[in-house]
Structure 1
């Protein structure tokens, strides 16, 4: 079902500071940065790490999953996302295995469709992602 690790996300309080640390400490090069809107707004910075993406996310409002995690746990680990070939088919397959998804339909991610899995059914916070063609 999973074809690869698509991205690993970290939630941060100050994206400018986090970006500077990633670039200075780890020699990472910014691939893209943009504000993502939807159910809630986020400032997102993407870095390549080999074939994978490291995603830094700063919530821009005071509601939503990202904001809640930052308030409850502070900066750091947020979630891992696995790439799939067909997100809707993968949703059906996961649900048939008893793994609940939080979204009825895939949501618009940065440059992909994304579905968040219910944390009660996963080991760590997880998403599935299908890249836009």
Structure 2
């Protein structure tokens, strides 16, 4: 698997409305996109910092993955996402190399990206997301 760059860093938050102003002030830039990904039970907000994005994640359902994360661990870094050419191929390579997968095949994520997650138990405790442009 060849990683092209860090795509984004995902940060779980309780409230986008409360957190966006902090990041706008800290980063000196405006949030450029807020969207809901209903199937993942999350609202996202994005900031561009150089070539990397910061993704804020707010749960839309306490039983969703972000809701459970915030309840158990509080707000904070949730995952690191890496850009790859093709998520399905990268997931196959990761599994063949012995990594544990959360997703066996890609699914749709925010900003039209294809995404797939590697389990933190096989990535030294870091929830790892692989991303590629849609329709690949």
Match of 2:41 in 1: 41
Q: Distance in 2 between matches of 1:94 and 1:20?
A: 37
Counterparts of 1:89 and 1:43, CA distance in 2:
27
Q: 2:130 aligns with which of 120, 128, 132?
A: 128
1:31, distance to aligned residue in structure 2 (A): 1.4
1:24 is displaced (CA, Å) by 2.1
Deviation of residue 25 (structure 1)? 2.9
> In angstroms, what is the RMSD of aligned CA positions?
1.2
In structure 2, the partner of 1:93 is: 93
User: What is the aligned length?
Assistant: 132
User: Which residues of 2 match residues 1-133 of structure 1 at below 5 A?
Assistant: 1-38=2-39, 40-110=40-110, 111-123=112-124, 124-132=126-134
Q: Tell me by how many angstroms 1:116 deviates.
A: 0.9
Separation in structure 1 between the aligned mates of residue 133 and residue 11 of structure 2, nearest angstrom = 20
The CA deviation at 1:41 is 1.6
Any unmatched runs of 5+ in structure 2?
A: none
Q: Give me the whole-angstrom Cα distance separating, in 2, the residues matched to 1:88 and 1:43.
A: 24
Gaps of 5+ in 1: none
User: So what's the TM-score if we normalise by structure 2?
Assistant: 0.92
What is the TM-score with the length of structure 1 in the denominator? 0.94
Find runs of 4+ consecutive structure 1 residues off by over 2 angstroms. none
Q: What's the secondary structure of 2:93's corresponding residue?
A: helix
Tell me the CA shift for residue 26 of structure 1: 2.6
